[in-house]
Structure 1
Amino acid sequence: MKVTKVNNLMISGLSIITNNKLEFESENGKIPQLWDDYIEKNVYGSTFNKANSKYMYGVYSDYTSDVTGDYKVTVGVEVTKPKNALVIKDERYLVFSKKGELPDVVVETWVEIWEYFENNNEYERKYSIDFEKYVKEDEIEIYISIK
């Protein structure tokens, strides 16, 4: 884990609203379908002003409360203009990195994150904009906004 600042990261893509209960306690989770839709509808190909970045992102924003509430998930890429993009400005993050097979490594890392914040009080989650950065085929970084 490391603490870092992110300033002026803009992500554009496809979004849905969901919550952790729906994603983990039912067969109707929306996030896997969101990723499928992003690929099948070739959203990447129709995204304007793509940055010169090879990374994919899963962005969590518009939290209604905490880990139990609804939030928006956006699958996308970095862009150079703010129009129709989620813009991350001057946020402080705790970064969790892990290697492993997708999508299992994503779920495992989120479980570690929830356990970390449940059992430690060194940092407090801000619930503003969190994101997954897909570094390689088998490597992920998850950025959790902190106060």
Structure 2
Amino acid sequence: MKVTRVKNLMISGLSVITNNTLEFESENGKIPQLWNDYIEKNVYGNTFNKTKSQYMYGVYSDYTSDATGDYVVTVGVEVSKPKNAIVIEDERYLVFSKKGELPDVVVELWEEIWNYFEGNSEYERAFSVDFEKYTKEDEIEIFISIL
């Protein structure tokens, strides 16, 4: 885990509104279907102004409160223009990383993150824009915005 600053990152893709209760306590979670829709509708192929970055992103934004409220999830790629994009202008992040089989490694890493923040007061979550960065086929980094 490390602290870093992210500046001028723009992600564009397909979005949905959800919350953790819906995702983990019911069979109606929207995130798996969002990833399926992104692929089936060829959103990547239809995204304008893509950068040369090969990374995929899962972005969590527009939090209504904290980990218990609604938020927007976007599956997307990095773009070079802000039109229709989530823009991270200058944010401080705590970065967690893990290797393993997708999608299990994503769930495992989020559980580690929630446990970390429940038991640690060194950093406080900002709940601005958090994101998953898929760096390799079996590796993920999750950037959590901190105050």
Q: Same fold (TM over 0.5)?
A: yes
1:121 and 2:121 equivalent? yes
Report the Cα offset of residue 57 of structure 1.
0.1
Report the Cα offset of residue 117 of structure 1.
0.3
| Alignment size in residue pairs | 147
Partner in structure 1 of residue 112 of structure 2? 112
User: What aligned pairs does 1:68-147 form with structure 2 within 5 A after superposition?
Assistant: 68-147=68-147
Post-superposition Cα deviations, 1:33-76, rounded to whole Å, max 9, x if no partner, equal: 00000000000000000001000000000000011000000000
Distance in 2, Cα, partners of 1:28 & 1:90: 34
Distance in 1, Cα, partners of 2:63 & 2:112: 20
- The residue type equivalent to 1:140 in the other structure is I
Distance in 2, Cα, partners of 1:89 & 1:62: 15
Structure 2: 5+ residue runs without aligned partners?
none
CA RMSD of aligned residues (A): 0.3
Partner in structure 2 of residue 35 of structure 1? 35
- The residue type equivalent to 1:146 in the other structure is I
Distance in 1, Cα, partners of 2:131 & 2:23: 17
Partner in structure 2 of residue 67 of structure 1? 67
- Superposition misfits of 4+ residues, deviation over 6 angstroms: none
Structure 1: 5+ residue runs without aligned partners?
none
Report the Cα offset of residue 127 of structure 1.
0.1
Report the secondary structure of 1:50's partner residue. Answer: coil
Distance in 1, Cα, partners of 2:102 & 2:96: 15
Report the Cα offset of residue 3 of structure 1.
0.2
Q: TM-score, normalised by structure 2?
A: 1.00
